[in-house]
Amino acid sequence: MKNLSKLAIVSLIAGCSMVSCTSYSAEDYMNDMKTLTEETIRNASDYTEEDWKRVGEEYRAINEKGKKTLERLTDEQKKELEKYAEEMADKAAEFDHEELKAQFEDIMDQADKFIDGIMQQIEKD
């Protein structure tokens, strides 16, 4: 029940931010990543397999939504983003379900490669 109410709150916040914001800024992107990372770290010990799947999908969705903002990230924000990714990966590694851990790590790798590709393209331009 506790996780269900958390999920409802996060879904509501995510839904409101998607509806109310027509332009998604680098600051919005960083705030969403920070919120997801902090929530995951705070609650990871209670997460079920479904919770971890949700976290992976939210991580992917935030990265997809924020891809256009990456060119506006400061060096400090880029370092902070790397820290969030490391913290998420560390918490996922603690989860005791090998198949799900592998799926989550794959999602994280895909999102990180996506970000790296965009950042390299931005640096070339």
Domain assignment of residue 85, given as a range: 2-124
Task: Look at the chain and report how many structural domains it folds into.
Answer: 1
The phi, psi pair for 33, rounded to 5°, reads -65, -40
Q: pLDDT-based confidence at 8, cuts 50/70/90?
A: very low
Residues in contact with 79: Cβ distance below 8 Å, sequence separation at least 6, in sequence order? none
pLDDT at 58: 92
pLDDT at 78: 86
Name the least confident of 28-37, 46-55, 85-94, 105-114.
Answer: 105-114
Comparison of pLDDT for 101 and 16, the residue scoring more: 101
pLDDT at 85 over 60: yes
pLDDT in tens, 59-82: 889 988 988 888 888 889 888 988
pLDDT in tens, 18-65: 544 458 999 999 999 999 999 999 998 888 888 988 988 898 899 889
pLDDT at 88: 83
Average pLDDT of the residues in 81-92: 84
Residues in contact with 45: Cβ distance below 8 Å, sequence separation at least 6, in sequence order? 94
